[in-house]
Structure 1
Amino acid sequence: MRLFRPLLAVAALALAGCAAGGDGTGEAAVPSTASGSLEHLAAEARCAPDLQTDADEIRQALCERGEERYVLATFATDRGQREWIDTAKDYGGHYLVGRKWVAVGHEDVVTALRATLGGTLERGAAHARHGG
Structure 2
Amino acid sequence: MKYRLRSVVVAAALASSSLALPVVAHAVTSASQPAPVSLPETSSTEKPSRANIEITPRDGSAGVPLRDGVSVTVHDGQLTSVEMRSISVGKVISGRISPDGKNWRPDISLARGTEYSIKVVAKSHMDDGVVTGESNFRTVDA
The two structures have a TM-score, normalised by structure 2, of 0.25
Return the structure number with greater relative CO, CA threshold 8 A, min gap 6: 1
In proportion to residue count, which structure has more strand? Answer: 2
Could you say which structure has the larger radius of gyration?
2
- TM-score relative to the length of structure 1: 0.26
Higher relative helix content: 1
